[in-house]
Amino acid sequence: MRHLRIPLASLSVLLATQAWAEPPARSLGVTVFPVGAYVLKDAEGERGVGYSAGLAWSYRREQSVLEVGGHVASNRQLTEATPMSLRLTPAGPRRVRPYLGLGLSLMVAHGEEVARTLQLGAELCGGVTVELSRKLFVSGELRYQNFSANGSPFAGERQELSSAFLGLGVHL
């Protein structure tokens, strides 16, 4: 038993320091995108262009290269949302943080001339956040989304939505 005193004491000190260590830094960010623009290309090849606004969120751990995010945006023609996208981003604390992500999107067209069906599609997004202070940041994001034209996610008729957003965010 005497021979185990030093290893057990070392192990208890190690466990105690791990228990009292500061947990890994986490960050939940919420961004308001008041400035956005979009181009919608429908299945017939016609284009619609306009302004859009949105709200986005992201969650990351400081030492992780994965980030989880999502958004909702609306304009005169449609409302689209990506409840969750997975993003690759550099690990560690950075003032400028680029990311590239992939997610599943939902879109509902509104207007009197269109049927209001829920359309499913995929999203590819890329962006950059620039930290202004410990709590505030500026964010820019580009998105490419490809939706079914009739509600079936595997339909051959597709619509493309390209959009760009600029906004101000806060870490909660």
**pLDDT tens track, the chain, 172 positions:** 455 555 545 545 444 444 444 444 778 999 999 999 999 888 788 888 999 999 999 999 888 999 999 999 998 888 999 999 999 999 888 899 999 999 999 998 886 655 667 888 999 999 999 999 989 999 999 999 998 777 666 667 788 999 999 999 999 8
- CA 77 to CA 52: how far, in whole Å? 10
Which candidate, 83, 60, 86, places its Cα nearest to that of 70?
83
Long-range interactions of 12-19: CB distance < 8 A, separation 24+: none
Exposure string (b/e) for 142-155, b if CB count within 10 Å is 16 or more?
Answer: ebebebbbeeeeee
User: Which 3-state string (H, E, C) describes 124-144?
Assistant: EEEEEEEECCCCEEEEEEEEE
The amino acid that residue 72 corresponds to is V
| Domain 23-171 class in CATH | mainly beta
- CA 4 to CA 7: how far, in whole Å? 5
Q: Give the domain ranges of the chain.
A: 23-171
The model carries a pTM of 0.79
* Inter-residue contact 125 to 162 (CB < 8 Å): no
Tokens at residue 127, please? 């962006």
pLDDT in the model for residue 170: 95
